[in-house]
Chains A and B, each alone.
Chain A
Amino acid sequence: MLKMKMKSKNECAGRMNALEVKGLTKIYPEFTLDKVSFCVPQGHISGLIGRNGAGKSTTLKGILRLIAAEGNVAVFGKDIIKDEMAVKQMIGYVGGGFRYYPMNALAAIRKAYEPFYPTWNQDKYEKFLAQFGLSERKKVKELSEGMKVKFALALALSHGAKLLIMDEPTSGLDPLSREEFCDIILQLVREEGVSVLFSTHITSDLMRVADDIVYLSQGKILAACPLKELLGKYRLGRFASLAEAAEAKAIGIKSVKDGYEGLLPRGTRRSNHVTVGEATIDNIIVHLEKANEEKRYAEAD
């Protein structure tokens, strides 16, 4: 497994972290989440990225103890196992859209939900409903996907959550709704100091809001660092032939329309046969995954 050795500014020690995950491990017959460790600094938005099946949802579920996983999880310094109820009071969880109780009205769900949170703020909740254009008389099944996400957000934010954990909240949303979602998240971070960890594979959302990136591949952390640091680490090299790409030791060489592409660590000497451009997150993910895949095949052989 190719592993990026980054001198990360996102090191957990020496700062107040909203979330610290250490050695989170979950073993399934077909998949292992392998000692995942990272942190979300207070007031930051961290994006959890990786291809389908990389372990993003497993990581989030492990953090919330929705699955029986090993490892330590601390929220604002409190251990989730020792202080499960206090920690969960600080967390607002949005599991994608709101997939629960489709036949129930929003009011019925809110009435069952709010007693669990002594800090529940009804005025704030009503303000969010008005802002999001939600009616409590509607049933969950009558809401669009975007509205479901907004309802989940309204519930999560009205009890004063300090840490928002969201599992692919923008999947299935149209571009306008995604933009609106990003605006809401930025507003929450700026105005209320909320910290956010959200998984996604829509990288444009990350570019829009994320401060940090946690990149998972095959159940392992490949990178956990500020977004700018990750983007600054690589450049995208375009080559006319495979031999030139191999000679330049490009990472994750891939055939494209006009030749070959691969990642070049920033600072490597540029040969005459390469055209270099800025690498996007998509480029970085695609080429690192390709490099990993090749390494796995080589090991299997």
Chain B
Amino acid sequence: MLKLIKKEIALCLHPTAFIFLSFAALVFVPNYPYEVIFFFSCLSVFFCCMMTRENGDIAFSCALPVKKEHIPLAKMLVVIGLQCIILLLVGIIGAIKGAILPAEQYVNQAGISANIVLVGNGAILLGIFNLIFFPRYFKKPDKIGVPFAIGAIAVFLLIGVSIVLRWATPLYSITLNGLNSEHTGAKIAALGIGIAVYIILSAISCKLAMKRFQNIDV
């Protein structure tokens, strides 16, 4: 598995996979729907899958001495690794923003602030994207557009829901908004729920993708 992951990183990662990680710094943009940062992570998955197709990587990998079901697993583990990095970066850069900017500038007028709840929300968005995109993609690895379009629509709908919740409910506008130092327990709970949802959805996605990939014809 490690060899497959190394091959993925060496031959299949599109440069945008790394470039979009730097978009975590967008949390410094005032009054911006920060969940959009996670959409860029999804977009980098699309580019990587395009690169996989253009390189004939699936056929090349299938001829290697590996189990067929390990091929989607390796690809997904690389993506999950990148997603964990962007979640971590958003959390760290958001905390830095909280430490260096005054509280009134920290509060986001366009959505939730760059706190750990944003990381939890991002984890849910990415988990849902994984669940929608990968099982569809690994059923027909030549068809990337439709699975990505469905995943992207779901992600933007959820971003919309998150913004509405920010303005419509006191839980999101007061308790889960603002600095990490305020209502810390509730924020940690929201982060925990987000991470749990991400793990569960990604695990289901892996299982489905591996099962469907067994039946594809290269």
Contacts and interface: CB of A to CB of B under 8 A. Distances in A.
A88 B218 contact: no
Residue among B54, B59, B66 facing the most chain A CB atoms (10 A cut-off):
B59
A99 B56 contact: yes
B59 A66 contact: yes
A125 interface: no
Interface residues of A, number: 27
Interface in B50-68: 54-57, 59-60, 62-68
Nearest to B9: A112
B11 interface: yes
B11 A101 contact: yes
A113 B214 CA distance: 22
A59 to B, nearest CB: 13
A104 B63 CA distance: 19
Interface string A90-133: 00010100011111100011011101110000000000000000
B55 A68 contact: no
B215 A68 contact: yes
B66 A112 contact: no
Contact of B11 (A65, A88, A89, A108): A108
Nearest to A92: B63
B66 A109 contact: no
A95 B7 contact: no
A61 interface: yes
Interface in B87-104: none
A85 interface: yes
Interface string B2-15: 01001100110000
Given A65-B68, A101-B56, A112 B216 contact: no
Contacts of B54: 102
Interface range for B = 20 to 34
Given A61-B217, A108-B11, A100 B59 contact: yes
A112 B6 contact: yes
B66 A85 contact: yes
A61 B218 contact: yes
Nearest to A109: B11
Contacts of A278: none
Nearest to A140: B55
A100 B65 contact: no
Nearest to A159: B65
A291 interface: no
A99 B55 CA distance: 8
A95 B214 contact: no
Nearest to B63: A93
A175 to B, nearest CB: 27
B11 A104 contact: yes
Nearest to B8: A112
B59 A116 contact: no
B63 A116 contact: no
Contact of A64 (B3, B62, B214): B62
A117 B65 CA distance: 8
Contacts of A95: 59, 63
Given A112-B6, A116-B66, A67 B60 contact: no
Residue among B65, B66, B67, B68 facing the most chain A CB atoms (10 A cut-off):
B65
Contact of A88 (B3, B10, B63): B63
B217 A115 contact: no
Contacts of B66: 85, 88, 116
B6 A84 contact: no
Contacts of A88: 63-66
A100 B60 contact: yes
Contacts of A103: 55
14 contacts: A66-B59, A68-B214, A68-B216, A68-B217, A88-B66, A89-B65, A100-B56, A100-B59, A101-B11, A101-B57, A102-B54, A104-B11, A109-B11, A112-B6
Given A68-B216, A113-B64, 7 more contacts: A67-B218, A68-B214, A68-B215, A85-B65, A89-B65, A101-B11, A104-B55
